[in-house]
Amino acid sequence: MLRQGLQPFILAALVNVAALRSPTSLWKGAQKIMRRAVLLLATMALAILLAGGVARAIINGEPDKGPNAHPYVGAFVAKVEGELKFVCSGTLISPRVFLTAGHCTQFVIEKNRPAYVSFDPTYKPGSSRLIKGTSHTHPKFCNPLPPINGPSCAPPPGLPGFPPNRPRYDVGVVVLNQPVRMATNGALPAAGLVDTLEKGQRFTTVGYGVRTFDPRGGERYKATVKLLNSNPPLDAMFVRTTGFRGIGQGGEGICLGDSGGPLFLPNQVAIVGVSSYVNVKLKTRLCTQPRFQRMDLPQVLKWVRSFYN
């Protein structure tokens, strides 16, 4: 199913919880799950990243600054171990609606914690401006853990053969308590848009994520990626793009910490997908083979638009 040494990995940046005590037991449990090659919930990703000491964000990209920056892309922030840490990325698509990944919002909902968003280019705990909001996760979201055939994680209807160990409907929103006015917002795509695009189509992906051993904050970075041929039925749910190919092999793209970040068309507004998962080489923690949750699916568009009122 996967090349040896690779595991599919949810991208939440919970590595920032550097203050967590005694992660050893979580790490051991996570190792067992990784051997089974299943997707990990954000809480499991936390244990692995803490043990590794570092997570990487967009690799081989560039700081998102200057006239072509994306100020409407922000950091998703949550209270963890008593401190406000950035955990994911996302995009403002209306003055009060922030689009991100479902596994990001679900983490906050399950912990019964408030969500916050910051649009500072570099998130700095204690000094960045935060806007509080309420998290919502797509009702059909599922991130399978053993047993992967549980009734709460049924295969998507109409997609026979969909891999049982992959997420589905990995989309969430944060409804902000107060509106944020910007000159430009991100925008939802037309239904079925991805099916009309050709291999090689260029996209821009943007995200916050820890890039060094310093766990104090994330800087907004961007990268250029290209559309690859789809791999049905998996890519009826996801967009498959180029990414980082390995040390000395080039490529640029998303990695741990970029969850929920947008995949923009060249107009830098229309959001084709949100960062969902990658395959991780366990020895190096390097990320390859990225997948983005498709935003052009009718079930996704209808649900997100319901928050515009």
Rounded to an integer, the average pLDDT of 254-283 is 88
pLDDT band, very low/low/confident/very high, at 285 (cuts 50, 70, 90): low
Tell me which residue range forms the domain holding 193.
6-142+162-305
Q: Is residue 231 part of a domain?
A: yes
The predicted-structure confidence for 35-51, as pLDDT tens digits, reads as follows: 332 333 333 343 333 33
Rounded to an integer, the average pLDDT of 264-290 is 85
Q: Is residue 151 part of a domain?
A: no
- Cα 295 to its chain centre, rounded Å, is 13
Q: Is 15 helix (H, G, I), strand (E, B) or coil?
A: helix
Torsions phi, psi for 209 (to 5 deg): -175, 155
Q: Is residue 44 part of a domain?
A: yes
The pLDDT of residue 4 is 34
Tell me how far apart the 2 most distant CA atoms of the chain are, in Å: 49
Q: Is residue 259 part of a domain?
A: yes
pLDDT band, very low/low/confident/very high, at 244 (cuts 50, 70, 90): confident
Q: How many domains does the chain have?
A: 1
Q: Is residue 16 part of a domain?
A: yes
Q: Is 195 helix (H, G, I), strand (E, B) or coil?
A: helix
Q: What is the CATH number of the domain that holds 50?
A: 2.40.10.10
Q: Is residue 156 part of a domain?
A: no
Strands 83-94 and 131-137: what pairing?
unpaired
Q: Is residue 282 part of a domain?
A: yes
pLDDT over 70 (residue 93): yes
Amino acid making up residue 66: G
Element (H, E) at 87: strand 83-94
Q: List the helix and strand counts (H, then E) for the chain.
A: 4, 14
- 262 and 221 Cβ atoms separated by less than 8 Å: no
Rounded to an integer, the average pLDDT of 171-190 is 97
Q: Is residue 260 part of a domain?
A: yes
pLDDT greater at residue 81 or residue 233: 233
pLDDT over 60 (residue 18): no
The CA–CA distances, whole Å, from 66 to 62, 70, 211, 258 equal: 11, 9, 20, 21
pLDDT band, very low/low/confident/very high, at 2 (cuts 50, 70, 90): very low
The predicted-structure confidence for 120-161, as pLDDT tens digits, reads as follows: 999 998 999 999 999 999 999 998 866 555 566 777 888 888
Angle between helices 24-35 and 42-52 in degrees, nearest 10: 110
